[in-house]
Amino acid sequence: MEVTKLEHACQVVRSGNARLVLDPGEFTRPVEVTGVVAVVATHQHPDHVTAEQVSRILARNPDAVVLGPPGVATVLADAGITVDVVTDGDHREVGPFTLDFHGTRHNVIHASVPVVDNTGVLVDGRLFHPGDAYTVPGVPVEVLAAPVGAPWLKVAEMMDWIAAVAPRRAYPIHEATLSAVGFAMHTGRQREALGDGELVVLQPGDVLQV
């Protein structure tokens, strides 16, 4: 299995000839890949999913399924996109991928901002993408996609969460809100939180073997 990190929160996971797209939002280049069996959107915010991106993927991969929590189904309904609604504890098998879902709520941004549904996904029992939440899945995680910058993110909490998940490897995602200086500072803290684990810094388009 390999992961191609695109901009911000989007990642494309490949197993054989099959692909899984995670969080194709508006901060990401147009996602124009084939072989897609599923699209997973962790929550409804536009930096994680847009109808335009999902429609583009489905046009090239009409048999692909779309999965996400209830809020994702709501925002994609106007585009006529059907969503397999998932929440904490759900399990799906799509193509060669096994998907286990963890968590229910987005991290708090501010008391004035509504908290939306957010459900992270564990792919093949190895790669965990949390969306916008500090969900600890409660099972071993080999590789963690770790948010590095966000309106809701506090570095101390980020470090505690990474330490609690305790992956063997991690790579930073959700970087679009940071300057180059801020990104370097925050990834340094991620590296500290990993202890004996390894932080792999990927640029958009880079591939990680999982």
Q: Side by side, which strands form the sheet with 207-209? A: 84-85, 65-68, 36-40, 18-22, 11-15, 2-5, 207-209
The predicted pLDDT at position 57 comes to 98
Nearest CA-CA partner of 44 in 36, 53, 31: 53
The predicted pLDDT at position 102 comes to 98
Nearest CA-CA partner of 158 in 182, 193, 203, 201: 193
Residue 105 per-residue DSSP state: B
What pTM did the predictor assign? 0.97
The predicted pLDDT at position 56 comes to 98
The predicted pLDDT at position 187 comes to 98
Measured distance between the N- and C-terminal CA atoms of the chain, rounded to whole angstroms: 5
The predicted pLDDT at position 137 comes to 97
Q: Spell out the per-residue pLDDT of the chain, length 210, in tens.
A: 999 999 999 999 999 999 999 999 999 999 999 999 999 999 999 999 999 999 999 999 999 999 999 999 999 999 999 999 999 999 999 999 999 999 999 999 999 999 999 999 999 999 999 999 999 999 999 999 999 999 999 999 999 999 999 999 999 999 999 999 999 999 999 999 999 999 999 999 999 999
The predicted pLDDT at position 103 comes to 98
The predicted pLDDT at position 71 comes to 97
**Strand duo 97-102 + 18-22: pairing:** unpaired
Q: Which helix (H) or strand (E) holds 44?
A: none
Whole-number average pLDDT of the chain: 98
The predicted pLDDT at position 2 comes to 98
**Strand duo 84-85 + 91-94: pairing:** unpaired
- For residues 43 and 22, what is the distance between their CA atoms, to the nearest angstrom? 11
The predicted pLDDT at position 123 comes to 98
